[in-house]
A = this chain, B = another copy of it.
Amino acid sequence: MFAHNKRLQYTVRVRECNPALANLMLEQFGGPQGELAAACRYFTQALAEDDPGRKDMLLDIATEELSHLEVIGTIVAMLNKGAKGQLAEATDSEAELFRSLQGAGNDSHVTQVLYGGGPALTNSGGQLWNAGYIDSIGEPTADLRSNIAAEARAKIVYERLIAVTDDPGVKEALGFLMTREIAHQRSFEKALYSISPNFPPGKLPGKPEFASVYYNMSQGEGDMRGPWNDNKIFLYESDRERQCA
């Protein structure tokens, strides 16, 4: 059962109304690497998880992600505040409003006209959030890897958002959110490594004759060898006939 406390997990200050920046922030509200996706990911896994330790961890982190969703959504709402008023109060002339919608860049016109300036469950390009973003399949050695990857992606998107704003309050809040994804990634890694064996994931062993072959399917100038196809581990197969198993 959830409880809500009026305080934000991280206090947000915003320098000035900026609908275009608000729109970019939607990426982490209703985008594929955003906080709703994170919360849904861990919460659905938690409900089906039988292991008490992992279940607790998933609920701890899912609850924190909901709190992040509140932080990022609050940033969006604050950055849109003035714009919201403008449209609702019709204090400007039509031409000015039109210019401000167009000039705001990106898809902030969608946010203003359709959602009235509120945070929408879309990415920054207006694409509706959908549950295809959630890749939980109910097997911990796979799901934990999915979670590690999801945290890594979220960290990168925060990093990119930080790079495009110079509003110090927004920058700080994004820095907090970004850092938490690092901490989550670390927890999921520890949880994965505490399952042994965890490779290959699941129950069935692979067929030995195919498990260590690297098929060189793309050939020509640019063929390279590296740790991912070296002879110590892999049988490197370039023969087109023998690539047919």
Decide if A5 touches B3 in the complex (CB within 8 Å).
yes
A216 CB contact (under 8 Å) in B60, B93, B234: B60
Q: Cβ of A17 < 8 Å from any Cβ of B? A: no
Among A51-101, those with CB < 8 Å from B are 52-57, 59-64, 66-67, 69-70, 73-74, 76-77, 80, 84, 87-90, 93-95, 97-98, 101
Indicate the size class of the contact surface on chain A: 35 or more
- Distance from A122 Cβ to chain B, minimum over Cβ atoms (Å): 7
- Residues on B with beta carbons closer than 8 Å to the beta carbon of A210: 176, 179-180, 183
Decide if B183 touches A4 in the complex (CB within 8 Å).
no
A126 CB contact (under 8 Å) in B127, B155, B218: B127
Decide if B137 touches A33 in the complex (CB within 8 Å).
yes
Closest to A217 in B: B63
Decide if B153 touches A125 in the complex (CB within 8 Å).
no
Q: In the assembly, what is the distance between CA of A233 and CA of B97, in Å?
A: 36
A122 CB contact (under 8 Å) in B10, B127, B160, B226: B127
- Distance from A33 Cβ to chain B, minimum over Cβ atoms (Å): 7
- Distance from A36 Cβ to chain B, minimum over Cβ atoms (Å): 7
Return the 4 tightest CB-CB contacts between A and B, nearest first.
A116-B138, A6-B220, A125-B126, A48-B118
15 chain-A/chain-B pairs, Cβ below 8 angstroms: A2-B63, A4-B62, A33-B135, A59-B218, A94-B163, A113-B160, A113-B161, A115-B137, A115-B138, A137-B156, A159-B202, A176-B245, A179-B210, A183-B211, A194-B227
